[in-house]
Amino acid sequence: MSSEPLGGLGRYAGPATLILSSLAGGSKHGYALTRDIEQFAGVTLQPGTLYGALSRLERQGAIEALEGEGRRRPYCLTPSGAAELQEHLGTQRRVAEVGLKRLDAGWSAA
């Protein structure tokens, strides 16, 4: 596992987080990933973004391709991918909690 959450994906960390979170619920092919992500996050990943991120995640060992179903190629989360996702989401939770506390402490738009 990388010392940086999600292997230092940089600008691809957002799509990677969405994809890994979707695959945490079970294996899916590209279209099913897109639909699931739209449902739980309200985000539509364009095909280039989706398949680029899938390729990167597979190279990193965070996901693996399963036996194809016709033209559909399902992917599943690997144990190292699950560990990276957990670390990344824990960091994001802490950031969100700090931000929300600071807003609750009296910040107001003037």
Domains and CATH numbers, the chain: 9-102 (1.10.10.10)
Q: Contact, 50 vs 34, CB < 8 A? A: yes
First to last CA, the chain: 44
The reported pLDDT for the residue numbered 30 is 94
The reported pLDDT for the residue numbered 13 is 81
The reported pLDDT for the residue numbered 44 is 95
Residues (pLDDT < 50) of the chain are 1-2
Distance from C-alpha of 71 to C-alpha of 73, rounded to nearest angstrom: 6
pLDDT in tens, 58-85: 999 999 999 987 888 999 999 999 999 9
Contacts 24+ apart (CB under 8 A), 47-55: 49/15, 50/15, 50/19, 52/12, 52/15, 53/9, 53/12, 53/15, 53/16, 53/19, 54/19, 54/30
The reported pLDDT for the residue numbered 6 is 64
Q: What is the DSSP letter of 85?
A: H
The reported pLDDT for the residue numbered 1 is 45
